[in-house]
Amino acid sequence: MGKKVFVERAVVDSILSYAQMFHPRESILLLKGKIDKKKIVVTDVQIPPLATHGSTFSGFPLSRLPIDFSVIGVAHSHPSGALRPSVTDLNKFYGRIMLITAYPYQSEQNIIILDRKGKPLKYAVI
């Protein structure tokens, strides 16, 4: 059994509105938070340095990221509406969790969180 995942309400709102703003392009945000033995808590988002908002996730220069241990994963949007990871997404996994929000980005119904293996994780909004 994996760790429990919690996402602060303000983080969910930021991710949804950021995705809406960039639609139909793909948006990317870094997820910041805390990890302990039992849980992962996402408390903040950060606009990645040098992010390019192209139509694919490949526009994200992961190699240019500063080393920052409060970054626990990456959120990005799927303007196509597909609420599942692509092969590229899984190959580019960064951090502990990946969050995907799919069009129309209205609520947490349009968000999934995945582990490194691409398995959806249950999460709670707090």
Catalytic positions:
26
Tell me how far, at minimum, the Cβ of 109 lies from Zn ion, in Å: 18
Closer residue to Zn ion, CB minimum distance, 41 or 42: 42
Q: Which stretches of the chain bind Zn ion, using CB under 5 A?
A: 57, 86, 89
CA 121 to chain centre: 12
Q: Please give the C-alpha separations between residue 13 and each of 20, 42, 90, 105, in angstroms, as whole numbers.
A: 11, 12, 24, 10
Closer residue to Zn ion, CB minimum distance, 6 or 103: 103
Which amino acid would we find at residue 72? Answer: I
Closer residue to Zn ion, CB minimum distance, 41 or 77: 77
Residue tagged 């092969």 (tokens): 87
**Other C-beta atoms lying within 10 Å of the C-beta of residue 108:** 16
Contact 25, 51 (CB under 8 A): no
